[in-house]
Amino acid sequence: MKFIDKLLKVQRKNRSLLCVGLDTDPAKLPRHLGASKNVVLRFNRQIIEATSDLVCAYKLNLAFYEALGEQGWHVLQETLAVIPRHIVTIGDGKRGDIGNTAERYASALYEELAFDAATVNPYLGYDSVEPFIRSDRHCAFVLALTSNEGSKDFQRLTVHGRPLYEKIIQTTLKWNTKQNIGLVVGATHPAELQPIRAIAPSMPILIPGIGKQGGDLQSAVRYGCDKNGLLAVINASRSVLYASSGKDFAGAARAEAQHLRNQIEQLRTQFFS
């Protein structure tokens, strides 16, 4: 199945644009889970089981698993095995390197770990992105305007009278011959979402920054969605994962995910019905 079709199908099935980021930090996990090597996997499994009917995607930030050492690869594989197959999985590594190295990164994420999508840094140009978009079953979410404070250092530099992030988007439109490129645009930049969606009306947009980073949910829905109220992938991580530090952590995560999903659905009804 094409990536774009899988994303649209699960967004309709679960009536959800919510993506939960499994950026699991062992230092923040409930104490009752203990400190065994499998604690991250145990935590992830319960979060997924509690929220999988409320989301369209899970995004796994690879840094949190690489930091676990040799155990991290196993935890990644086992976490992905728990996620229902109809839900989109995103390997968030922001990879970007010369062609032959990019091929190895793409192989690791798509073939070994079987992610549906990856976040990709376009700074090195087309040959660093191309291995991630060879198959329409996979999607490269290209960094455009990220949610962090330092995004202004380079992404807003002026190039021929336009911001650099806009040049990146215009270029990815030319690369998007298989409809399998998306954009990463932070919810912390609400004023830019509307013009970005106008430039790229049919691209998926991964929107981090909701929750602890204080991103604007209303703008994320209103301007992140396509004309049908779909194709926005709105990510929340810490606010869901760490909704409780007690034994009720999974139930609390579900309640927070459901609250966010319901907020998003209410806004979708308001703007797209």
Mean pLDDT of 68-86: 96
Closest CA to 199 of 148, 253, 162, 246: 162
Main-chain dihedrals φ then ψ at residue 18, nearest 5 degrees: -80, 135
Mean pLDDT of 256-261: 97
What CATH number has the domain spanning 3-272? 3.20.20.70
CA 190 to chain centre: 17
Residue 31: pLDDT over 80? yes
pLDDT digits 0-9 by tens, 97-122: 998 999 999 999 999 999 999 999 99
Please identify every residue annotated as catalytic: 94
Average pLDDT of the chain?
A: 95
Does the pTM surpass 0.75? The reply is yes
Which residues are registered as beta bridge partners of 119?
A: 141
- Domain ranges for the chain, please list them: 3-272
pLDDT digits 0-9 by tens, 140-171: 999 999 888 888 888 888 888 899 899 999 99
Q: Using alpha carbons only, how large is the chain's radius of gyration in Å? A: 18
Residue 220: pLDDT over 70? yes
